[in-house]
Amino acid sequence: MARSQLRRGVASALAAAIAAKLAARRRLSCDSLDSDGLGALSPTLREHTIDTEAGPPLTVKLWESALPFAGGPGLRSWPSARHLLTYLRDLEPKEPRFRRKVLELGCGCGLLAFALGLLGAEVTATDQSEEALTLCAKSATERRARGLRLAFRRLDWTDSKACRELLKELRVVAPRVAEVAELREARRALRQDLGGVGALKRELANAGFLEPTGMLSTGDKPFNVFARAGKGLLKQPNMEREQQALGEYQQKFVICRNRPENDLHWDSTDPYWVSKASMSRRHRFLTTKDLHWQWFNALVFGMACELGEGSSLAEAIREVEDMKAAALSYAKSSPGWSEQVGLFVNIFGHNNVNSLFVHIIDMEELGPSFEAQGYKNCPLDAVLKVLKEEVEEHFQPQLLQVLDTAAFERHSAADMAVFELTA
């Protein structure tokens, strides 16, 4: 009995101590929101001198918290920032200036960001802590910080909404993707400027569109309509005959239709319908039963192999050729369709669904919506042409390999320049 009471007493004391600590942290958070947002942190101006082999020592003045771990460890500078600066500076040991663009995740009070700025880098430093960014802003007012190419931004990289920026960036890089040259540039930008196909895959996963297996999600949230249709979870009424019109391709692809009201208003000039109505009197969609993420959008066709998974460019070409053959087979076998059939896809950045859909359009009777969406209707033949160009150019993505420390030491600085390191 005594032991039981003792255990309860200890547990109660621990709970009280934890509650008191949490309350103190909440008070600190609230108290710190004074005129400059730093009052309870007792900020102090510290001067850091950093030796560099390529030039004179750097002097960085920083406002930091005087209280250890007050507000979090990011409000003090740490030796790790100096070590990382030395590593980065050694990338260009013979250059007097470090002329690179740097994105820092978790900048804290800004020691690395300001030091790289003094060396000539263009730095975008991010942190999720408002106090840390306030310290950085305060430090930026010091004399030595003026004129540097520094930008500080708040970013919580655990927030999935904050991680959905690639789509917006692609819209800026490629505001129109309706022909070969524009698709070619969009694929180049994804590979070279926007983090590669791996970044896009991560964005899909962060947004909930990707299962751990690499397959597109088919649940209710997010509702991925064509992925659900491809899996057989979404069956539209009276579509059995149209599915049979795919002939030999009906085991591989699925035919879908627009909403009845969208079909009905295909020729409406009302602005409300122009943005959503079917683009022709006869307008259908082709999607795939293969839900592997590599087929979710034509932007990434043939790129999954760059991550060591999925189909090669040559295999992607054969898949697109099957899409084309299936769509044309459908139109030929369906009553009322003319011989003028257009096949189009919407490239990621301009798509409204994160699963494959090929527009099958009777070009003989087009509606106003076709012209309104012309900036994003990329012909399927353009996709084929770009993929074939990449094959002809012998584009062979090299898989990044993780090298052990001994392997790094065996390479000279010149040799190491051929490796791209990723975190």
Residue 341 pairs in a beta bridge with 362
C-alpha distances (whole Å) from 101 to each of 95, 120, 362, 421 are 15, 9, 48, 16
> What does the longest C-alpha to C-alpha distance in the chain come to?
91
Contact status, residue 122 vs residue 104, Cβ threshold 8 Å: no
Q: Which pLDDT belongs to residue 403?
A: 36
**Are residues 259 and 342 in contact, defined by beta-carbon separation less than 8 angstroms?**
no
Q: How far apart are alpha carbons 388 and 292 in whole angstroms?
A: 22
Tens place of pLDDT per residue across the chain (423 aa): 555 555 555 555 555 544 444 444 433 333 333 334 455 567 788 888 877 666 677 788 888 887 655 556 678 888 888 888 888 877 776 666 777 888 888 888 888 898 888 888 888 888 888 888 888 888 887 655 567 888 888 777 665 555 557 888 888 889 999 999 999 999 999 998 888 899 899 889 988 999 999 999 999 889 999 999 999 998 899 999 999 999 999 999 999 999 999 999 999 999 999 989 999 999 999 999 999 999 999 999 999 999 999 999 999 999 999 999 999 999 999 999 999 999 999 999 999 999 999 999 999 999 999 999 999 999 999 999 999 999 998 644 444 333 333 333 433 333 333 323 232
Positive/negative CA dihedral, 360, 362, 366, 367:
negative
Question: Which string of b and e fits 19-54 if b means at least 16 CB within 10 Å?
Answer: eeeeeeeeebeeebeeeebbebbebeebebebebee
Euclidean distance between CA atoms 83 and 61, whole angstroms: 18
Q: How far apart are CA 206 and CA 201, in angstroms?
A: 9
Burial class (CB in 10 A: 0-12, 13-18, 19+), 295: buried
**Is the separation of the CB atoms in 90 and 173 below 8 Å?**
no
Separation of alpha carbons 90 and 78, rounded Å: 20
Structural domains of the chain sorted by starting position, each given as residue range(s) with its CATH number in brackets = 39-158 (3.40.50.150), 163-392 (no CATH)
